[in-house]
Structure 1
Amino acid sequence: MRAALYIRVSTEEQSKEGYSLAAQKEKCAKFIESQPDWDLVKIYADPGVSAKDLNRPGVQQMLEDVKKGFFDVIVVYRLDRLVRRVLDLHNLLDDFEKNNVKFKSVTEVFDTTTAMGKFFITIVGAMAEWERDNLSERVSMGMEQIVREGKWKGGEVGYGHKWDRNEQEFVIVEEEAKYIKMMYEWSIDGDGDITIAHKLNEMGITTRQGNWWTNTAVGRILINPKNYGASKRGVRTNKDNSFLVGNVYPAIVSKEIYDESLRLRKSRLRFSGRNSDNDFIYSGVLSCPRCGSTFKGNKTTDPDTGTVYKNYVCNNKASKKCDYPSVSEKMVDDKFIPNLQQALDDLSNVDIDLDDGNKEIEEQKQVVTKELQKIKERRKKWQYAWANETISDEDFSDRNAEESRKEKHYLSVLEKLERNKGESLPVSSIDEIKKLIDNWKRLNDNEKKKLLRSLVNKIVIDIDKSKKKSERLNIKEIVFN
Structure 2
Amino acid sequence: MNIREDVIYARQSVDRKDSISIESQIDFCKYELKGGSCRVFKDKGYSGKNTDRPEFQKLLGEIRKGKVRRVVVYKLDRISRSILDFANMMELFQEYDVEFVSSTEKFDTSTPMGRAMLNICIVFAQLERETIQKRVTDAYYSRCLKGFHMSGQAPYGFDLEPTVVENIRTKMMVADPIAASHVRLMFEMYAEPETSFGDITRYFEERGIKVYGKSLTRSYLSQLLRNPVYAQADLEMYEFFKSQGTVVVNDAADFAGTNGCYLYQGRDVKEDKDKSLKDQILVIAPHEGFVSADVWLRCRKKLMANITFQNGRKARNTWLAGKIKCGKCGYALKTTHNPSGYEYLRCSKRADHKGCPGCGTLRKTEFEQFIFTAMGEKFREFKLLRGGEEKANPKITAYQVELAQVEAEIEKLLDTLTGANATLLAYANKKIEDLDNRRKTLSKAIADLSVETLSSQQIELLSGYLDDWENISFEDKRKAADGLISSISATSDYVKIEWKI
Q: TM-score range by the shorter chain?
A: 0.3 to 0.5
Larger Rg: 2
- Give the alignment's TM-score, normalised by structure 1: 0.37
